[in-house]
Amino acid sequence: MQHINSKLQEVETTIFTVMSNLAAKHNAINLSQGFPNFETDTGLIDLVTYAMKKGYNQYAPMPGLMALRAIIAENTNTLHASAYHPETEVTVTSGATQAIFTIISAFVHLDDEVIIFKPAYDCYEPSIQLFGGKVVPIQLSVPNFGVNWGEVASKITSKTRMIIINTPHNPSGSVLSKEDMLQLEKLLKDTNIILLSDEVYEHIIFDGQKHQSAAKFPGLAARAFITASFGKTFHTTGWKMGYCLAPKDLMAAFRKVHQFNVFCSNHPMQYALAEYLKNPDHYLSLPSFYQEKRDLFLSLIQGSRFTFTPASGTYFQLLNYATITDEGDVAFAKKLTREHKIASIPISVFNLNGQDDKVLRFCFAKTEDTLERAAEILCSI
């Protein structure tokens, strides 16, 4: 081929792959890509094995196994006083990434505008571009990453098709408050704008705060897709299992694409997850489980030259290194990996025009031993 006309000419390999590969090459502690380094509950693994032996090895129903959709709807409706119907308003997906891609592909037409907040998780923008949409970015500011809803209002035009929010927010660790959600609800009233609410860290929220799901706000729920990930919730990022919720009409449009995009997701895992979700303790215990890890990590690096605002949610902590060097964050993250054997994610890659605030993201979904070794290195820098 003389000329390959890629639809994503400018896009490079995702930073998660770049940093994880570099960590492996230099034998560094990998706090870059977000995944736990401890095992998932063997009870859940046993349920998958059981399902495979019982013969759940062929295609699942296209929207997902009914038992799984039913327990997802029941648990969601209990948590948020919502009314999702398992038959028509819940679809099981191959991770949240597939849900997000499918939602965007189903609704974003040529020249439609999609508002996103930067720093933004890296799969949103290329997906919008692939379908001819125009990304309308709004840059949030360190250290609190609060949203100025007046600014959001000023970006809404007759072409705005969708707005994407993410709470708890990757990479900043910030969360949207009830007041934020009410402001958004007011802003979208009387519009045809679809809300994509990426809530994959819904159960990882700290200091007694409550997750403000779009499902809790009728004016938002009526126009929202909510995406969720079992990878985050059950320490199984490699399983690539998730789901999305939306009102019936929106979900019908989603399934028109989903049936040709993946058709269905992994069948034995759906069986296992349906059983496992019968015990809500499995996810209700996550705030204290991860808050302990956040607090341990932060107490261990208290004496270092890095500065920080504790994460309100997610399993990521931002550390500011401005007192150490004025090097760019990508160069500094790579240097830390090569020379100090600790890998992180530079935040500028998620920012508007690569804005560099001298912050790195560290994943604390790790064993105590790993967090201790990581902190020791960070304190020596």
Residue with tokens 């977000």: 34
Instruction: Pick one of ligand GLN, ligand PMP, none as the site partner of residue 265 (Cβ within 5 to 8 A by kind).
Output: none
Burial 192-215 (b: 16+ CB within 10 A, else e): ebbbbbbbbbbbbbbeeeebbbbb
Residue 138: strand, helix, or coil = strand
Strand 90-93 relative to strand 194-198, pairing? unpaired
At its nearest, how many Å lie between ligand GLN and the CB of residue 195? Answer: 21
359-363 sheet: strands from edge to edge? 316-320, 359-363, 345-346
Report if residue 304 touches ligand GLN, rule: CB under 6 A: no
Q: How many CA atoms lie within 13 A of 213 on its CB side?
A: 24
Residue 231 binding: pick among ligand GLN, ligand PMP, none (C-beta 5-8 Å cut-off by kind):
ligand PMP
Tokens 């399934």 found at? 255
Partner touching 166 among ligand GLN, ligand PMP, none, CB below 5 to 8 Å by kind: ligand PMP
Q: Which is nearer to ligand PMP, 119 or 219 (CB)?
A: 119
What single letter denotes the amino acid at residue 200? V
Q: Is position 33 an interface residue for ligand GLN (rule: CB under 6 A)? A: yes
Residue 133 interacting entry, from ligand GLN, ligand PMP, none, C-beta within 5 to 8 Å by type: none
231 or 346, CB closer to ligand PMP? 231
- Per rule CB under 6 A, count of chain residues that contact ligand GLN: 5
CB of 53 to ligand PMP, least distance (A): 26
Q: Least separation, in Å, of the C-beta of 244 and ligand PMP?
A: 11
d(CA 104, CA 254): 9
C-beta closer to ligand GLN: residue 121 or 217: 121
CA dihedral 323, 32, 363, 349 (to 10 degrees): 70
Contact 145, 311 (CB under 8 A): no
* Residue 34 binds to ligand GLN (criterion: CB under 6 A): yes
33 touches which of ligand PMP, ligand GLN, none (CB within 5 to 8 A by kind)?
ligand GLN
Q: Whose CA is closest to 227, among 150, 142, 135, 162?
A: 162
Q: Which of ligand GLN, ligand PMP, none does residue 219 bind (CB under 5 to 8 Å by kind)?
A: none
Least distance CB 248 / ligand PMP (angstroms):
24
* CB distance 154 to 183 below 8 Å: no
- Residue 238 C-beta: closest distance to ligand GLN, Å: 11
344 binds, among ligand GLN, ligand PMP, none (CB under 5 to 8 A by kind): none
CB atoms within 10 A of CB 259: 13
Least spacing, CB of residue 50 vs ligand PMP, in Å? 23
Binding site for ligand PMP (CB under 6 A): 34, 95-97, 121, 166, 170, 198, 200, 229, 231, 237, 240, 242
In eight-state DSSP terms, residue 313 is B
* Residue 16, contacted partner among ligand GLN, ligand PMP, none, CB below 5-8 A by kind: ligand GLN
Q: Which C-beta is closer to ligand GLN: that of 181 or that of 347?
A: 347
Q: Strands 316-320 and 242-245, how do they pair?
A: unpaired
Rounded Cα distance between 115 and 160, Å, is 7
Closest CA to 324 of 358, 361, 356, 374: 358
Distance in Å, CB of 33 to ligand PMP, minimum: 9
- The reply on whether position 119 binds ligand GLN by CB under 6 A is no
Query: Applying CB under 6 A, does 37 fall inside the site for ligand GLN?
Result: no
- The DSSP 8-state label assigned to residue 199 in this structure reads -
Which CB atom, from 122 or from 376, has the smaller least distance to ligand PMP? 122
16 interacts with ligand GLN by CB under 6 A: yes
CB distance 366 to 374 below 8 Å = yes
